[in-house]
Structures are given as C-alpha cells and as structure tokens.
Structure 1
Amino acid sequence: MPRDELAAWLRLLLTPQIGPVSARHLLAAFSSPQAVFDASISARTAVVGEREARLLAVEPAELAGHVDATLVWLAEGADRSVLTLADPLYPRALLEAPDPPLVLFAQGQLALLGASAIALVGSRSPTPQGRDNARAFALEFARAGLVVVSGLALGVDGAAHEGALEGLPPGALGSTIAVVGTGLDRVYPKRHHALAHRIAQHGLLLSECLLGTPPLPPNFPRRNRIIAALARGTLVVEAALQSGSLITARLATEMGREVFAIPGSIHSPQARGCHALIKQGAKLVETAQDVLDELFWGAGGAARSLPGKSGVTAPAPGAAFELAANDVPATPTTPTMPAASTDPLLDALGFDPIGLDALSARTGLSSADLSVRLLDLELSGQVARLPGQLFQRRGAA
C-alpha cells in the first residue's frame, strides 16, 4: 500500500470525534479517505456536522509516527498485511457485520479469511475438563477442515488454538485465527508468546488495533464482534454468567450465526453461562460431530445437505464462506462423555466437583485412603484437583 494511501486511512482512524459510523458515512460520500481530506469543510459538514468536519482538517500529531511504524512492521515480513474496507481481500464475512473495522492488521496466512470457520470461546479460568474439551473440539474441527477462530486469551481460547494447530490437516494453509485486542507488535498475555508465533506460522493473527496499542479493557469486547462475524457459528465451552464469551454469543446471534454451548455441572459457576445460553435457544452439543452436523459440514472440509433437516439450507456458492460441494459423510473421531469405568472410585466421583468428606461418605473409605487413591488418579490424568480441596473426574477427550 502506498504511503499516502496508508496515511489517509490511519488519519481517519486517529481523528478525534470520528467514530466508525461517521467514518463509513464519509467513505460512502467521498469514496476514499484521500477524497475525504481533499473535500471542503462545507462538503464534509453535509455528511458529519461542522465540528467533525473541522477536526478532519487538522492532521493528528501522532499520524507520522504511526505511518512510519506501520511501514517498518510491514517490511519486516512478507506475511504481514494491512487491509482496509476498500481492499478486495477484506473478508466478506466482516463486510456483512454491522460494524466492520475500517482497517485490519494481519500476520500469517491471509487466505484463511475466506475459509469456513467456527468460533470457539470460553472462560479464562476453565476447569481441567473445560480446557480438555476446548482442545479436543478444536482438534476435530481442524481435522474436518474448519478454521477455528478465538481470541488468544488464557484458558479456553489458548486451548482452542492449540487443539486447532494439533489438528492441522496435511497440506492445509492453516487451521486457526487469533483475533487480538492489542497491536500485532505486542502479545497479550505474555505467556502466549510462543503460541502466537506458531499461529503466525500456521494460522493468522488479526487485529483492528493500531500498532503499539496496549491491552486496554475496552478493546477486548470490541474484538469479540470480529470473532463472531468471521465464523459460521460460535461454540461456548465454559462461561460464567458475566463472561465476555456471552458477548460473543450474543453478537453471533444478532448476525444470524449459529450458537452452540457445552453443558456442565449444575454446581459449577463455569457452566452457568452455557446453561443460560441453552435456555435462550443455543444448541446443546456433546461432541464435535453435533456441531458439524448443524453446520452441514462433511468430511474433508465440504458442505453437505441433510435431507432430514427442514428450514435450513447449506451456504450458497459465492457466500462469504464459500464451500466445495461434497456429500461424503463426516467420520472424525469426536470427544464423547465417558461411560462408567471399572474403577469404583471413579464411578463414585461422578463428574461434579466433590470434597474428601463427601467422597468418604459416598464410598466408605477413609480420608487417608482416598488421598492416596486420588493422587494416583491425578497423576494418571483421570482426576483433577480443584481449588478448595475439591476433586473432579476428567472425561475422555
């Protein structure tokens, strides 16, 4: 992108009092940012009002620094791009959203923006089972040819990206998109630095934030609309009632996307958000195949029709998530809820968190005996130790 064109787009972003709605009105009226700034104040006033029109006449002091930093960042890697609303590579899925970003910064496999995707989101502090579920579902989605979109946060997001990378099909460009709430020259949280590097190599990092933007709280709810818009559906793995994941689910619903939720224990605060979504009409899912069936997604990354379903059609050719026609049924291995085991202690544990006293009353074993047996099961990965001296059986994943 030429420097003057980049400067015009960034100037539009940096001008105070010019929000995304006003910016889109200006672009609709004048066709390009350069034309917006070349227009007279009176012409701009007819679109956004006199105060905003006069502010547009003043070049922001920080503009030159942002332009220089962006050009340096772009020159450091051929996998880096800046996409604007006028760019033919700008994802159509976002253009169909009610509030598309004016500018997107991207690093990695840009072609993934045109692929069919599923958003996978959830708690930053999931239970061990929730983390396992996120990884396992994402792995199966990737194996089936869906791109997994998430937000690179701790917990469910990180596990989703890791599972998608693990399930990357041979020869595929990538399997996951991380939409972040900082500039792409920063990684937040820092412990995901190595994960972000892997995503840049085998997926795509995406942000609407200018380079140098720190992890400011308002940026994260805003990035959720991008996550929801890029995907054909959103799966919430675990979420408390005040979780930001519910924002993503609401935005997905408003955009006409599917919303899925994995149920959990009625005693777990991390399951209450999912249960609330299910009460509101989200589809309860137990396996990755449940989601693939709802999305009419067949093996090898292909849309398929389900004759038994009424009122739902597969995406039309030429849609934002264009798919190849193929009626081969999907046969991926999906995570399932485990059946009763041959270990009486595991059966007694069930799948809800439980304390030693309650477990002792349930099994008749002493606390000392239970501690030894639970340690063995914990070391073998069958039981997780939770805060508050609680224990929970881990399901197969």
Structure 2
Amino acid sequence: MPSAYSLHASDLSAWLRFAQEPGLPLRAALALLQHYGTPAHIYQQTAGALAAWLPPGLARQLSQAAAPELAARLAQTQAWLRGHPARHAIPLLHDCYPERLRQLADPPLVLYLEGDPHALARPALAIVGARNATPGGRQNAQAFAQALARAGWLIVSGLARGIDAAAHLGALDGAPDSAATLAILGCGPDIIYPASHAALAQRITRQGAILSDYPPGTPPLPGHFPRRNRLVAGLTLGTLVIEAATRSGSLVTARLAAEQNREVFALPGSIHAPLSHGCHALIRQGAKLVETVADILEELPPCPALPGRAAAPLAAAPAPAPAPANALRLLPFLSDVPAPLDHLAQRSAMDAAAVSAALWELELAGLAARTDNGTYQRLGGPHALFPGNKT
C-alpha cells in the first residue's frame, strides 16, 4: 500500500462507506486495499471482479449504491464532520494516520477525531487504571501525567472516571501551551461517555484530541471497549497502570501493549489494597515497577522538546502546608488502605470529634483524603513521585 494518500471529497466518501460497509470483514477489506489501492477503485469494480475476493452477495453489495440504512449512517457521519472545523476523518492511507497503528495486523480503516490531528504524530504514553480509584491513585495519576506532559509526552487514556480522568487533567496542566493529551473512546466521537466528562472533553479537544474508530452515533456498548483498549495500547510506546483489580480493562490494555512490544509499567501499592493486586500481578509478569517518573523515562527514547520551548525539568511539587499538632498525632495511623473514622479513633486512642477535626486539617494540608464511601486514606503528596524523592 502507498504510505500516504491525498483525499478528495469523493475519496473521503468512499473511505467512510468502506469503513462502515455491513458484513465486510476487516481482513477482506485489507486484502481489497492491497489489490485495488483505494476504496474509490474498489467501488468501481463489477460484482464479478469482486467475487474473486468476496462471497457473491457481498460482492454485489459493494458493486451497487449504498443501501438506505447505510446511506443514512454515512449522512450522519458527514453532518458530524461538517459541524466543526476541528473534526476529521483520517483513513488508513492518510498522512496523519499514526504509523504505530498502521503497523498492527488489524488497523482501523478510518479514525474519527476532534481536535488537533497532528497530536497523533507525537510520542505518546498511556496511563490507565481503575474507575473507582482511591484519592491517592488519582493524585498519583495526575502527578505522573503532569510531569510526563511537561517533558513532552502526549498522555493517552480512555476518558473514563478515576485514573483516566486524572491522567487527562494532569497532562492538561503539565503542557498548557501544546497538545497534551488524547482521549480514545469506546463509542462514536459525538458521544461523550461518561456524560459528566463533557467539560473535560472540551478541554481535551482544545489541548489535544478525542479519537475513536467508531463512527458518529455509535453508542458506548460494553463490547466496544476492548477495541478502544487496543487503540490505547497500539498508539503508545508504553502503558503505565495505576491501581487495577485482578480483573480489569486496564490489565487487558497492559496485555495488549506487551503483545505489541510496547513497554509496560505498574505502580505498586499496599498488599492489603484490592486495587494494588492487578499492578502487583503485572510486576510479577515482567512489568517494570515504577516509583518515580525517571523510572519510566529511562526505558523510553528521548522525547523532543515541545515546539517553542525547552523541556521543563521534573522538579518537585511544592510541599504541603504543615498540619496542626493534633492532626499530626493522627497521621501515623493513616495509610494508603482506606479506613473508617471509628477505626482511626480506636487505633489512635482519640475521641471521634478530635479525629474528625484532625482529618479535616489533614485534608486541607494535602496529607489525607476522603474516599467515595466515607473512609479516609493517607496521601504521600506528588513530591514523592519525582527523581531524587524516593521517600
């Protein structure tokens, strides 16, 4: 196949139909492209010629005009593309199509993108993890993403709750003047899932891009997310997993990354925390144990500085403000394993009112956080993630 392809309107229409053609297996589509070059040429063939590659019924389907149902879906795709100048359809043979995806055995025929298509050429790293992440896990994801984006890396994740959202936010803060992050969806590019991330998605389209290989109108069905995970792994040079249960989509992404000869990194945690078990399993299987950003960067090729500025140093974040003495008395009884208030009172021999006040002070100081189920855990602070601060 040619490595680049300049699109005209008719060519784009043919690509959009080819990618959504009902019943056309990807392997057969790739074989047709190998033989005929472009979808426009494929649709010019007779049913008899196509029957050498396809079953007779499918060959007739491709030799005729699109059926009404398909024509309606294609009109929906074209309307989405016309709706904003930052929306793009990127076919397999286009210059902007990522070479790392093109090298896969089953590359998507068309990518649908809103944002900056040139972000796809940036060196990228995936950060993934649990949707029901702990406050500490979200803090770690945000701090790692911020430092890596500051160093010039495009941070890729799946726009899910928890670790994904924290990684996107950290990247946006780390590289505010350039393409910082890429969100890959398991639905059409016109559907933000979860809907609560609509504002985050808007920030991402201004500072990166939202990407899907599903056409507009495709709902976020459970069966779509494994394909999303494959794109996350395929687009990046490595995947960092922060908090994952023993059975999770994050581990699937890590396995796909390993199968595609990408680097796999995992952040360890407490042996008592269920969301550490998946990361520990990855480490036993050969993933690199990560304590600092430097642990990741030493395994990856040098990243060019962002356009217009030098790569920022990975300096330590400011230390949190000191907490009052009563709060510091409670601090040794907190850990990264969340605990309820009454357990903390029992451990520390403090009454419940004193513990409640101390927890509030520790939260203000950035040393503790309340989880979604009302328990509390200790936060190490993002300064512990950076080179020279392995404490």
TM more than 0.5: yes
Q: Does 1:214 align with 2:219?
A: yes
Q: Does residue 22 of the first structure (1) align with residue 7 of the second (2)?
A: no
Offset of 1:370 from its aligned partner?
A: 2.3
1:368 is displaced (CA, Å) by: 4.0
Letter in 2 for 1:141: L
CA shift at 1:221, angstroms?
Answer: 1.3
* 1:56 alignment partner, SS class: helix
Task: Select which of 294, 303, 314 maps to 1:332.
Answer: 314
- One-letter code of the match for 2:347? R
Structure 2: stretches of 5+ with no match in the other structure: 1-6, 383-391
Closer/same/farther in 2, CA of residues 337 and 121 from structure 1, 3 Å limit: farther
Shift in alpha-carbon separation, 1:27–1:336, aligned structure 2, 3 A: farther
Contact 2:150 2:312 in 1 (8 A): no
Q: TM-score, normalised by structure 1?
A: 0.85
**CA–CA distance in 2 between the matches of 1:118 and 1:139?**
12
- Indicate whether 1:103 and 2:110 are aligned: yes
Q: What is the identity, as a one-letter code, of the residue corresponding to 2:162?
A: G
The reply on whether 1:347 has 2:332 as its aligned counterpart is yes
Cα deviation code 1:313-368 (max 9, x no counterpart): xxxxxxxxxxxxxxx99841257999xx9823212223322344543443333344
Counterparts of 1:116 and 1:299 in 2: how far apart (Å)? 9
**Structure 2 residue aligned with 1:119:** 126
Partner-residue secondary structure (3-state), 1:204: strand
Deviations 1:290-332 (A, max 9, x none): 1112214368369xxxxxxxxxxxxxxxxxxxxxxxxx99841
Q: What one-letter code is carried by the residue in structure 1 that aligns with 2:79?
A: V
- Residues 29-108 of structure 1 aligned to structure 2 (within 5 Å): 29-58=35-64, 59-108=66-115
Q: Residues of 1 paired with 2:197 and 2:251: CA distance?
A: 23
In the aligned structure 2, how far is the partner of 1:388 from the partner of 1:13? 44
Matched with 1:293 is 298
Q: CA deviation at 1:143?
A: 0.4
Provide closer, same or farther for how the CA distance between residues 281 and 35 of structure 1 changes in structure 2, counting only shifts above 3 A: same
- Determine the C-alpha separation between the residues in 1 that align with 2:304 and 2:83: 38
Q: Is the 8 A contact 1:183 1:213 kept in 2?
A: yes
- Alpha-carbon offset, residue 37 of structure 1: 2.4
Aligned to 1:8: 14
Where does residue 376 of structure 1 map in the other structure?
361
In the TM superposition, residue 157 of structure 1 has moved relative to its aligned partner by 0.9
After TM superposition, the structure 1 stretch with the greater mean CA deviation from structure 2, 13-22 or 100-109, is 13-22
CA distance in 2, matches of 1:34, 1:356: 66
Q: CA deviation at 1:8?
A: 2.0
Map 1:151-230 → 2, pairs under 5 A: 151-168=158-175, 170=177, 172=178, 174-230=179-235
Report the counterpart of residue 261 of structure 1 in structure 2: 266
AA partner of residue 292 (structure 1): L
Q: Deviations over 1:27-55 (max 9, x none)?
A: 11221112222223333232233343244
Q: Deviations over 1:97-123 (max 9, x none)?
A: 222110011111111111101111111
In the other structure, the counterpart of 1:245 is 250
SS of 2:43's equivalent?
A: helix
Moved over 4 A (4+): 334-338
Is the alpha carbon distance of 1:335 and 1:52 closer, same or farther for their aligned partners in structure 2, counting shifts above 3 Å?
farther
- Hey, what's the Cα distance between the residues in 1 that align with 2:159 and 2:102? 23
Tell me which residue corresponds to 1:323. Answer: none
Distance in 2, Cα, partners of 1:34 & 1:112? 28
* 1:320 matched residue in structure 2: none
TM-score where L is the length of structure 2: 0.86
Contact 2:130–2:245 (CA<8 Å) still a contact in 1? yes
* 8 Å contact from structure 1 (residues 29, 47) kept in 2: no
Aligned counterparts of 2:303 and 2:101: Cα–Cα separation in 1 = 24
Change (3 A) 1:16 1:73: closer
Aligned-partner Cα distance in 2 for 1:200–1:169: 12
Distance 1:336 1:350 in 2: 21
Question: Could you tell me how far 1:374 is from its partner in structure 2?
Answer: 2.1
2-structure distance, mates of 1:344, 1:300: 45
How far is 1:23 from its partner? 1.2
Distance 1:293 1:335 in 2: 21
In the TM superposition, residue 3 of structure 1 has moved relative to its aligned partner by 4.0
Shift of 1:223: 1.1
Identity %: 45
Amino acid at match of 2:219: P
Mapping of 1:144-155 within 5 angstroms? 144-155=151-162
Q: Does 1:142 align with 2:127?
A: no
The residue number in structure 1 matching 2:3 is none
Alignment length (residue pairs): 369
Unaligned 5+ residue runs, structure 1? Answer: 303-327
In 2, Cα distance between equivalents of 1:241 and 1:160: 21
Q: CA separation in 1, counterparts of 2:121 and 2:304? A: 19
